[in-house]
Amino acid sequence: MFTHREDYHHLFGENLERIDSPNGRKYLLEEKGLYLPSVTTVLSHQSKEGIAKWRNRVGEEAADRKSKHASTRGTRLHTVHEYYLNNIDVSALSEYQVPLIKLMFAGSRSKLDKHVDVIYQQETQMFSERLGVAGTVDLICEFDGELAVVDFKTSEKIKPERYLENYFVQLSAYWGMFSEKTGIVPKKLVVFLVTEAGEVQIVERTNIMHYLKKLTDYVHQFNESQNA
């Protein structure tokens, strides 16, 4: 059973309306009439050139097929993780009936049990006017006894750590949002990646300011591109 703290939930009660468009996702903070891009949209802007090269290399049809598979795989396993961490039996979930997801969860379940303890936030919408972004954090919890911001990822196979850099930039955004609202500073960022073979790759970083600086640069570049 996972323990959930609810004493900070009231700090994240703002009504954020999610707006999806061909130009990416934004969140509207209704009280202030403020539109903030999602952190994933900002990061997608940074990687769009690399994605375009990949699509040209593999072909549009194969790229669409792979992208859809990855998105569906990630959403399904994410749902199973969310229910499990909320101490809900996942066996009846439609997502869990998919053989690939059942295999992947079989690998990740023991790691969740081992590493995750007290949960502070899960699937929580957050924003930061100072950073100029908004988004939905996967998990903020005590991870091996230290408060951490955790992001769940899926992949065909284990990734070289250099390919995880933007994941940590994304995590630094949630770190900043949570710290600003609560005054509590998580100690580390954690990427929790599950492969299609059920392997789990856990990578941690504590040099959070490094990634926060990258985030600030990326937001600036994104905003300039929107105003061009």
DSSP 79: H
Q: In this prediction, what percent of the chain has a pLDDT beyond 90?
A: 73
Whole-number pLDDT of residue 54: 64
Whole-number pLDDT of residue 211: 97
Q: What angle do CA 32, 34, 37 make, to 5 degrees?
A: 150
Q: Is 55 left (phi over 0), alpha (psi -120 to 50) or beta?
A: alpha
What domains does the chain contain, in order, with CATH numbers?
Answer: 9-227 (3.90.320)
Answer yes or no: are the C-beta atoms of 150 and 163 closer than 8 Å.
no
Place 77 in a pLDDT band, splitting at 50, 70 and 90: very high
Whole-number pLDDT of residue 88: 97
Sheet strand arrangement including 34-37: 16-21, 24-29, 34-37
C-alpha dist (Å) from residue 52 to 66, 69, 120, 154: 14, 18, 38, 21
pLDDT tens-digit profile of 116-141? 999 999 999 999 999 999 999 999 99
β-pairing verdict for 146-155 and 188-195: parallel
Per-chain mean pLDDT for the chain:
92
pLDDT at 48 over 80: no
Whole-number pLDDT of residue 181: 94
Q: What is the pTM of this model?
A: 0.93
Answer yes or no: are the C-beta atoms of 43 and 218 closer than 8 Å.
yes
pLDDT at 99 over 70: yes
pLDDT tens-digit profile of 173-224? 999 999 999 999 999 999 999 999 999 999 999 999 999 999 999 999 998 8
